[in-house]
Structure 1
């Protein structure tokens, strides 16, 4: 079993077919197909059902996905470790993060990381739900993850990230009194622009509404976070956003108010047990305050 075979196998899994995988890897499809057939002969069974439009995993293929990803991750870590010992730089760091945590604090941490390690390529994946972050780190699809503190991460190593304050963002001409803050009862009564159920911000809003025995007045639900501020500016409704996103909205003309009492969220940085690649270890060192390191 060779590294190349496992890379081709995982590419077919992730892209749903041999042609798409070959295109993504920039290799000829016959070469990729031959490598997969050789792997199947070595393992003694088919890994894929060949379909007219793509490929589906067999039970044997499903069993191989997790170990294959872990082997590739371990090989990458070993290679990075050797390069570091030899005084080389480079490699890649894969991070998965919920969207609001990707904006803050991940973007800022990555800025410092890039200055210190400019030759390390970084890939950031941003699923909506924290459970998906935990799954992608746990299965080896990404080495590090940023997830809301309310999400269970019992099988992963983790450290707490600094607290984030949430702010209410209102349309420029909203009739709310000219004040610096919104009470949580007032927040629960606003026309709201929200993300889908199961997302961290939506969970926070629903907890506030439940505490005041109010059914949230949802005017727009969207998974497209880039729509939220334009919807606020268009007068559609209010939104709850972390400080950095709320401040950007304020620069574009929205009203940014604190909540009373303050709504605070805390994220976690998570990774699997075992050695980290040098790039991941350097990122953790930048992200974690010295008292936690």
Structure 2
């Protein structure tokens, strides 16, 4: 009789253990989704993209000393416009990063706690003709917020990966398009800043040709060399941002195509390649000190 009771108790413990495991995330079901996890994890690290948005916002503080008085007032107006939309730009990026962070956690084989992560989202975004943000981008942000709220509230990890990929791809692709649109804006603003600074050197240094201007001209040339080196690095970073966002978009589209078989061998090979590429791109987007 005691032997039977012991077996019964063991069976109950096994059942309870299985039930708890399912509630805590279905780890066994997601253990082989490491390629999905790594791709999403590397995609989320494009948060370093944030520096390009900050550079865009702070353009005037850098270029002011190079501006002619006649151009300063117009630059102040542009500065106010950039600062007014900065939070919207960051919100769009935060939604994409949080989506990828959540996907990485769901695809992992560890227990997870997503409570409070929605606090990382911004306050929302607004359409803006000058920046290129459209109503469809606003709607995608709203849809992404709702999806994240639902997924984070769910306790079924393995099924949430498929649900997230299936339901989130449309809004994610639209938000990535928004980020690419903003990257083009950042690049255009940066190119204008570079043209302003280099133009000043091109005009002023040849004019500093008197003996008493020698030290001034030498210092200006040293500064020009330093700025040229900085611009070469920045040229590459804007290109890398476009490459990274494009890679995330393509990689997630492949996930959506294989959503009913995330264990497919060809998908795993693709995701490993995308993750490696994104890791390299992320290193190139580390902040310049």
* TM surpasses 0.5: no
From the CA coordinates, give the structure whose radius of gyration is larger. 2
Q: Which has the higher helix share?
A: 2
**RCO greater where, 1 or 2, for CA within 8 Å and sep 6 or more?**
2
Structure with the bigger percentage of strand: 1
TM-score, with structure 1 as normaliser: 0.25
